[in-house]
Chains A and B, each alone.
Chain A
Amino acid sequence: MVSNSNNGMSKYVTLRSSDGFEFVVLREAACRSGAIRRMLDPKSAFREAAASVCTFEEINGIILDKVAEYFYYNHKNRNQEDVPDMDIPPELCLELLMAADFLDSLFTVCSSLHC
């Protein structure tokens, strides 16, 4: 999908959903999630790091689409103070909440192990 350059670090990463949808996202934006950052950390020996592809078995395409949208929303507004809230459709709310919990909690677990 994205050719690996610069000793295996491409500028983009691929997020793959449980139902096979793929989202190519700026690495910097995607790494705002601790879980994804840990998965893609070149120092870790995860397969994801080598391929720059993260597969999420528990997140479907619709939700992952929203997550990718959030990555860019967050990335775009990273240095702003007064940011309008991103619109979240109420029907996706619960599933998105689970996804957010997963993507962040993994990070907390990892970092606490790391300490």
Chain B
Amino acid sequence: MKRSRSSRSLLANGSTTTTTPASAAAPLNPLNPPATPVAPPPLPPDVILPPVVGVPPAQPNRAVARQIRGPQSALTDFLASKNINANQIRVDANNRRAAALVAQQAAAGGNDNEDNEDPDSEPEPVPVRRKNESKAQETKRKKEEEKAIAKIKASKKFRRQRKQYGSEADNTDEDEAARAIFESSMAPLPDQLDNCELCGKRFTVTGYTRKGPDGGLLCPKCTKDLDKEEGSALKKKKTNQGRARRKIQSNLLDGIYPGAKDLMTLCIETLAKNVDQADDFGDLPPSLIDRLAAILSKKRLLNPSTFNLFLRPDFENVTVYDGAKLSSDDYIRIFQIVPKVKSVRLRNAVQFKNVVMDHLLATTVELESLSLHGANLIDDERWERFLREKASHLKVLKVSYTDGHFGDETLGVLAETCPKLKRLKVCHNQKVTDAGLLHIAKLPNLGQLSLDIYNNTSSGPYVEILSKVGRGLRTLSLAAAHYVDDTVLSAIHQNCQNLSKLRITDNEVFTDQAFANLFTDWNNPCLTYVDLHKCRHIVANEPCENPEGVGFASLGFEALMKHSGRTLKHLNVNSCRHISAGAFEAVFASGKNYPELEDMNLSFCQFVNDLVVGCIFRSCPKLKTLKVFGNFGVRDVRVPKGKILIGVPNALGMQIEGIDDHDEATGHVI
């Protein structure tokens, strides 16, 4: 490739004919030295300029050259005032063209064209951008380059990279590495043209262009060849490692401990993989069938054909964990094939619509339990008919994500027609209001109640429900009741005497003192499941201040653990930010023991740190998973074997300590 300076200036002069033919000739005329500020004498129009090639090189003195000019456009004037020279742009373009030409000729097999260019310029591999610069510019550039390289060498990122890869790379010369980084940062940007390092061909640089062995860029064809040569071994190894790590983390989130899987999991996974070959599940016990249904749904394998495996005339339960791929006809099939079905549990059952409901109403199926999630196409009229005609046997009704359906009137009908109802769940409901909630108080046999109403609700109806049916409740779940107040907590304290599961979430009114009062001297057996997440004070400008003691905080936490610590299995106090470090340390102090606690979520409780986590592992022998997302005080805690710590804020994840303490305590072995 020829990119000599003389050829450049030569072309530069040749290309000055920019504006009009008459004026363009001016700077070229050897009789008019560019330095003279005098305007050129007007040339007769028939003057023919000598051919460009062969004109002796003029001094590239742009500042002066600008003085001698003919009429020029406003744009040129403006650009000139900004120190942008149309000439220079043209020159560069011509140079590139020339370089491409030379490259083509070289590729065509002839080196004999070289004498077209300046003979004394060595065909040294000078990078493209150095082709047109003066001595001063060169020294300046070199200086800047050195500066940039020194800067790269001093940067933290560079040092870290060196640390990481230093041992494996042989050519670990620091200067070289720094220069490589510098050059890669200076390489042509996407959409610009460059010459291929190997074949010299001209090509467009894209984001996917890869580097050659000497640091230059490669054209797509050479890239392909090089890729083939190297093979993808290196790349594959890296992605496999990443995949394995991700798999372990994903398993941890699912509560699967790293290490050998138990035999049942292995079998179920194999079965899920080969489900298309299965004709029948044989005599699998219902619990296993349920697990299979769950894992098939998780792998998105539940479709009309695999769904048949779960439909057998003698079944009493049909569970679909994800019915997104099932059509209305499939849902109708449930009632055709399994006429004795007592319990239907369907999630994401969007296609369970009016047609299916009409079919159900026309059958003799007597459901005891109906759980529908996402069936938002059943209108209120159908719900009412269902409740009037089919609800006399109903013991369990769970309805969630029904959008604009299943409102106050429907709950009113439910209270009339379902005296036996033991379990009611109305979640993610956009239609029910305070008036509808009051109907729930008329269900005397209610044992389990879950409410998650999107409309703003007030305390009154909840207090009414609790005073009427609170005594019999074993489960109470009030999610997203944002503005109900302490009267609800005191109603729980007064009325509930059989609770084992309590969930009150997402509230910013309850006070810590009210929580403490609830759990102090409460005439209720110890709870086994407590979820109080997001019961906390929110003020954006003063996040740490909580003068009113709003939310579930230190007092409530200590009172809860004192009341229920003996039997508590699941505890979720996610985002209860005002539980103090002192409260955690007091609750999990060395003498304390929480023998049943298996699963705890302390995410976003800002005072949870290494010490607290260590104390928790000490006082909870059965603990399996502990979640600590967003707790930056947890840095370097050693996790005893058999326990899972999720959400440690570093890339390594949890560090396991010790060996398998294989005894009676560890439950799942095979």
Contacts and interface: CB of A to CB of B under 8 A. Distances in A.
A98 B670 contact: no
Contacts of B282: 94, 98
B150 interface: no
Interface stretch (B253-261, B298-306, B470-478, B556-564): B253-261
A101 B282 CA distance: 14
B275 to A, nearest CB: 10
Nearest to B267: A97
A104 B265 CA distance: 12
Contact of A67 (B248, B263, B281): B263
Contacts of B287: 101
Interface string A80-99: 11110110101001101110
Contacts of A32: 662, 669-670
Contact of B667 (A70, A82, A93, A111): A111
Contacts of B261: 83, 85
B277 interface: yes
Contacts of B667: 108, 111
Nearest to B665: A111
B263 A96 contact: yes
B244 A94 contact: no
B281 A94 contact: yes
A79 B274 CA distance: 30
Nearest to A114: B664
Nearest to A84: B260
B178 to A, nearest CB: 37
Contact of B670 (A93, A104, A111): A104
Interface in B287-321: 287-288
Contact of B259 (A67, A77, A97): A77
A101 B285 contact: yes
A64 to B, nearest CB: 12
Contacts of A80: 259-260
A49 B264 CA distance: 25
Interface in B644-670: 656, 659-660, 662, 664, 667-670
Contacts of B136: none
Given A32-B669, A32-B670, A85-B269, A94 B263 contact: no
A74 interface: yes
Interface size class of A (residues with CB under 8 A): 20 to 34
Contact of B284 (A82, A98, A104): A98
A86 B284 contact: no
Contacts of A81: 248, 258-259, 656
B542 interface: no
Contacts of A101: 264, 285, 287-288
A73 B266 CA distance: 12
A33 interface: yes
Nearest to B278: A94
A67 B263 CA distance: 8
Contacts of A98: 282-284
A2 interface: no
Contacts of B278: 94
Secondary structure class of chain A's binding surface, majority of residues = helix
A96 B268 CA distance: 10
Contacts of B284: 94, 97-98
B669 A93 contact: no
A88 B264 CA distance: 11
Contacts of A83: 258-261
A78 B26 CA distance: 89
B270 interface: yes
A100 interface: yes
B274 A70 contact: no
A42 to B, nearest CB: 14
A100 B259 contact: no
B187 interface: no
A31 B668 CA distance: 12
Nearest to B270: A88
A7 to B, nearest CB: 21
Interface string B57-82: 00000000000000000000000000
B330 to A, nearest CB: 24
B152 interface: no
Contacts of B285: 101
Nearest to B272: A93
B175 interface: no
Given A101-B285, A104-B670, A90 B271 contact: yes
B133 interface: no
Contacts of B274: 90, 93
A97 B288 contact: yes
Nearest to B669: A32
A33 B259 contact: no
Interface string B179-203: 0000000000000000000000000
B260 A100 contact: no
A93 B263 contact: no
Contact of A97 (B268, B273, B277, B659): B268
Contact of A100 (B659, B660, B670): B670
Nearest to A35: B670
Contacts of B144: none
Contacts of A94: 267, 271, 278, 281-282, 284
A78 B269 CA distance: 20
A96 B263 CA distance: 8
Given A33-B669, A81-B656, A82-B244, A93 B271 contact: yes
A82 B266 contact: no
Contact of A85 (B248, B266, B283): B266
A87 B644 CA distance: 26
B248 A104 contact: no
Contacts of B288: 97, 101
B263 A100 contact: yes
Given A100-B262, A100-B264, A33 B271 contact: no
Interface in A34-73: 34, 67, 70, 73
A104 B248 CA distance: 24
Most buried by A among B260, B264, B285, B664: B260
Given A77-B259, A81-B656, A93 B264 contact: no
Contacts of A97: 264, 267-268, 271, 284, 288
Given A80-B259, A104-B668, A111-B667, 17 more contacts: A32-B669, A34-B670, A67-B263, A74-B669, A77-B259, A78-B259, A81-B259, A82-B258, A83-B258, A83-B261, A90-B277, A93-B270, A97-B264, A97-B288, A100-B262, A100-B263, A104-B670
Closest 5 A/B residue pairs (Cβ): A90-B274, A97-B267, A100-B263, A77-B260, A81-B258
10 contacts: A74-B263, A74-B669, A77-B259, A88-B270, A94-B278, A96-B263, A101-B264, A104-B668, A108-B667, A111-B664
Interface of B: 244, 248, 258-264, 266-271, 273-274, 277-278, 281-285, 287-288, 656, 659-660, 662, 664, 667-670
